[in-house]
Chains A and B, each alone.
Chain A
Amino acid sequence: MKRNTLLLSLGPLLRKKEWFVYYLLVVMTLIFSALLHDSGFFSSANFINIMRQTAPVMVMALGLSFALSVRHIDVSIGAVVALSAVVCGLLLREVHMIFAILGALSVGLFAGVINGLLIEYLKTSSLLVTLGTMSIMIGIARSISGLESIPITNEHFIMLFGSELFMGIPTSLYWVAILALVAWLIVHCLTLGRHLLAVGKSPENALQLTISPVKVRMLALVMCSLFAAFAGLLYAARMQSARYALGEFDLLNVFIAVAIGSTQLVGNQMRVIGVICGALLIGLLNNGLILLGFTINTQLIVKGLVLVMVITLVHKELNNAK
C-alpha cells in the first residue's frame, strides 16, 4: 500500500518532460560512478574539472536559447567566441584589462546588431545570414591573430575569468551563475522575457499586444552574441591564450545542450536551468567516456545516441500533449 502511494506520488514528477534532463544527469552520474568507482571519477576535483570545462559551453548555450526562443538560429556564436577572445588577447597587451574586456564584449554587441539588422530589416534567413557573418568573423580572427595563439599573461584577467579557485570553486563558475541568474531574471521577471516568449509563440499575436517583434528579435540576437563574447573571455582566461579556432568545435555541443535542456528547440520557451544541465551532461559524458577508455569514435556515437533518445522522448511527450 505504502509502495503504491510512493509510486503514485512519483508519477507526476516523472511525467514532467522538462525534468528529463535532470533524471538523465543523475542516472549518468550514477552509471559512471559505478563503472569508474576506482578511477577518481566520483571526486570533487573531477566534478570541478567537468564544470570548468563546460563553463563556456554553458554560457554559449544560454545565449543561443535567447535566439532560439524567438525562432532564430545563430550559427555565428563560435566565430564570436574566437574573435572576442583574439581581440581581448591583443588588447591585453596594449591597454588596461577593463578596456580589453569591453573590447571583447563590443565584438559580441556589434555582431549581434549586424546579424539583427541583416535578418530583420532585409527579411533574410537567420541561418544563412549567420553562416555569412560566421565566415567573416573567422576570417578576421585568423587575420588579426596571424594564425598564432596569443599568449595571455595578465594574472588579474586569468584570476577573474579563468580557472583560479575562489572559496574552492573556479571563478569561471561564478560567472556562469551570474549569467544564468541574469538570463533567468530576464525570462521570469522582466517584461522583455514575456515579450521574447510572446514573439516566439506568435509574432502576429505579439503585434496585437503592441510589441514590436522586430525589436524583440534583434534584442534576442544581441543577447546571444553578447553571451558568446563572454564565453570567449572565459575561454581566453582558461586557456591562458587566445586562438583563432576557439569555439569552432563547440557548435554541436551547444545545440545538443539546448536540445537536451529544453523540451522544444525553437520558439516560445527558454529553460535556463535545463540548458545549464544539458551542457553539464555533455561535459559529464565527455569526461566519463574518456575515463572509461572509449575511443573518440565511440564517444561521438554515445553523444548522438543520447541526443536521439532525448529528442524521441520529448517528441513523444509533445505528441501526447496534442
Chain B
Amino acid sequence: MLHVLRGLFYTGFCIVLVVMLVVFNRVNAQVSMPVINTEKSRLAEGTQTAALAWHSSSPWTDAVTRGALDTFERFDIDVIAITDAQYDPVKQLADLESINALRPSFVLSLSVDSVSTASGYRQLLEAGTKLVLLSNPILSIQEHKHFAGLISVNTQAMGRSAAQLIDRAVVHTGNVGVIFHEADYYVTNQRDKAFLDALKTYQDITVVAKKGFVQEQDTSAVTMAMLLKQPNIDAIYVSWEKAAEGVIEALRMMGRDNVKVVSHDLGVSTLLDMAQGGNMYAVVSDRPYDVGTAMAMRAINSQRGITNPLLKPIEYDLVTKDNLEAVWPLAFRSNLPRALQCVLSHKEVCE
C-alpha cells in the first residue's frame, strides 16, 4: 500500500512540476519578451502562426526575436515556439522537426550549419511553411517555392568598417594581430575576410600575427600566445564581441593596456570596458531589432505574394565610447543597461 501511495505521490509530483514550469515559463517570457502563445498552432483553424529557430541565445538574438515578435503581433500572428540550438546542428535539426509537428505558417531561422540542417528546412518547406533565413544561406533549398528569402547584414561593409576602426585605433600606422573565426560559419567568415581584404589597402598597417579560434573561450589563450611571439602588436581584431571578452581578459592579465581591440556586435561586458577607457576601442554593430522586423516582414510579404518587397537594407554603426549611448537604443530598441549608464554618467555609486 505504501508503494502505491509513493507511486501516486511521484505521479502527482510530475504533474505539479510541469504545471509550475508552464507558469514559470510564461512569467519568464513576460519579463523578457511578449507572451508566446503555446495554445494555438496552424492545426487550429485559420490561425496564422510562426516559429523562430535560432542558433543560440544572446542579447543580439533576443533583440532579433523582439523585432520579429512585435511585427508578427501587429499582423495578429501567434508565435508558437522559439528554439535555441546552442550552436549544435544536431539539436537544430531536432528543433526544426519538432517545430514541423506544430505546422507553423512561418519559420524564421539562423542555421548553425548549412549542410547538416538542410534536411530539416526542406521538411518545413515541403509542409508548406514559409521560411526566412538569416545570414547563413542554404543553397540547396533556395529554389523552393515556399522559401521566402534570406535576410543578410552587410558583411562586406562591416568588415571594411572594422578595418577603418583599426586604422583609427593605431592612428594610421602600426602592427595588428588578427584573431579570426576558424570554423566554417558563413557570416563570420565573410566578415573576417572582408576585414582582411580591406586592411591590405592601409599601407602603413601590417598584420604581424594571424590566429584562428573555434570556441569563444579559446581566445584568451590565443591572445597570450600571440603577444608572447609578437609583443609589438598595437591593435587586435577579433571576430565578435563575446570572443573579444577573452582577448581583453588576456590583455589585462598581461598588463598590456596599450593594445586596442576592435570587434563586431554589442555586448555589455566589452562595452563596459570601452566606456571605462580599457582595451576595447570600437565595434561595428548591425541593428538586430531591425533584422527581426525585416525577417518577419519578408515572411508576411511572401505569404501575400509580394516577392520583391521594398525593404530598407539593414543598417550598421561604428561604435566608440563617444556614440555608444546613442547607438544602443537604435540597435536593440531598449534602454542602455544600467551598468553602462552608471559608467557613462561618471557616477561613483549608482543607486
The chain A residues found within 8 Å of chain B, CB to CB, are: 7, 10-11, 14-15, 23-24, 27-28, 31, 35, 38-41, 43, 45-46, 49, 52-53, 142, 146-151, 163, 235, 238-241, 243, 245-246, 248-250, 286-287, 290-298, 301-302, 305, 309, 313
Tell yes or no: B39 within 8 A of A by CB.
yes
Centre residue among A49, A238, A290 by max chain B CB count within 10 A: A290
Tell yes or no: B169 within 8 A of A by CB.
no
Tell yes or no: B88 within 8 A of A by CB.
yes
Nearest-Cβ distance from residue B35 to partner chain A, whole angstroms: 9
**Contact pattern, B 38-53, Cβ under 8 Å of A = 1, otherwise 0:** 1111011000000000
**Contact pattern, B 99-119, Cβ under 8 Å of A = 1, otherwise 0:** 111110000000001111111
Q: List 15 A-B contacts (CB under 8 A).
A: A7-B1, A27-B14, A31-B15, A35-B22, A38-B43, A41-B101, A147-B214, A250-B90, A287-B101, A291-B38, A291-B81, A293-B82, A295-B25, A296-B84, A302-B18
Across the interface, name the chain A residue whose C-beta is closest to B17: A305
Chain A residues, CB < 8 A from B118: 240
Nearest-Cβ distance from residue B160 to partner chain A, whole angstroms: 25
A49 lies within 8 A of B81 (CB):
no
Which of B15, B25, B40, B90 is within 8 Å of A294, CB to CB?
A: B25
Given contacts A14-B7, A149-B116, A243-B113, contact A298 B25 (CB under 8 A): yes
Tell yes or no: B339 within 8 A of A by CB.
no
A38 lies within 8 A of B101 (CB):
no
Chain A residues, CB < 8 A from B14: 24, 27-28, 31, 309
A239 lies within 8 A of B7 (CB):
no
B41 lies within 8 A of A38 (CB):
yes
Give Cα A53–Cα B120 distance, bound, in whole angstroms.
12
B81 lies within 8 A of A249 (CB):
no
B102 lies within 8 A of A291 (CB):
yes
Which of B86, B94, B97 is within 8 Å of A296, CB to CB?
A: B86
Centre residue among A40, A41, A293 by max chain B CB count within 10 A: A293
**Contact pattern, B 257-282, Cβ under 8 Å of A = 1, otherwise 0:** 00000000000000000000000000
**Contact pattern, B 179-203, Cβ under 8 Å of A = 1, otherwise 0:** 0001110000000000000000000
List the 8 shortest-distance A-B pairs measured between CB atoms, nearest first.
A293-B38, A149-B115, A296-B84, A148-B184, A14-B7, A40-B101, A239-B116, A15-B3
Give Cα A301–Cα B18 distance, bound, in whole angstroms.
11
Given contacts A11-B4, A240-B119, A293-B25, contact A38 B44 (CB under 8 A): yes
The chain B residues found within 8 Å of chain A, CB to CB, are: 1, 3-4, 6-7, 10-11, 13-15, 17-18, 21-22, 24-25, 28-29, 36-41, 43-44, 57, 80-84, 86, 88-91, 93-95, 97-103, 113-119, 182-184, 214
B94 lies within 8 A of A149 (CB):
no
B18 lies within 8 A of A31 (CB):
yes
B1 lies within 8 A of A27 (CB):
no
Chain B residues, CB < 8 A from A146: 184
A-side interface mostly: helix
Which of A10, A15, A291, A293 is within 8 Å of B101, CB to CB?
A: A291
B89 lies within 8 A of A292 (CB):
no
Which of B4, B18, B29 is within 8 Å of A14, CB to CB?
A: B4
Which of B41, B98, B184, B214 is within 8 Å of A290, CB to CB?
A: B98
A291 lies within 8 A of B98 (CB):
yes
Which of B1, B13, B98 is within 8 Å of A49, CB to CB?
A: B98
Chain A residues, CB < 8 A from B43: 38-40
Nearest-Cβ distance from residue B272 to partner chain A, whole angstroms: 24
B95 lies within 8 A of A290 (CB):
yes
Nearest-Cβ distance from residue A276 to partner chain B, whole angstroms: 18
B83 lies within 8 A of A296 (CB):
yes
Give Cα A7–Cα B57 distance, bound, in whole angstroms.
48
Give Cα A313–Cα B7 distance, bound, in whole angstroms.
10
Across the interface, name the chain A residue whose C-beta is closest to B44: A38
Chain B residues, CB < 8 A from A301: 21
Chain B residues, CB < 8 A from A250: 90
B91 lies within 8 A of A302 (CB):
no
Give Cα A163–Cα B93 distance, bound, in whole angstroms.
12
Given contacts A295-B82, A296-B57, A309-B10, contact A243 B22 (CB under 8 A): no
Give Cα A31–Cα B283 distance, bound, in whole angstroms.
48
Which of B1, B25, B88, B119 is within 8 Å of A249, CB to CB?
A: B88
A290 lies within 8 A of B99 (CB):
yes
Across the interface, name the chain B residue whose C-beta is closest to A142: B214
B88 lies within 8 A of A245 (CB):
yes
Chain B residues, CB < 8 A from A149: 89, 113-116, 184
Give Cα A322–Cα B113 distance, bound, in whole angstroms.
51
A147 lies within 8 A of B4 (CB):
no
Chain B residues, CB < 8 A from A235: 90
Chain B residues, CB < 8 A from A35: 18, 22
11 extra A-B contacts, CB within 8 A, seeds A149-B115, A235-B90, A292-B38: A7-B1, A35-B22, A38-B43, A150-B115, A238-B93, A240-B115, A248-B88, A291-B98, A295-B84, A296-B84, A309-B13
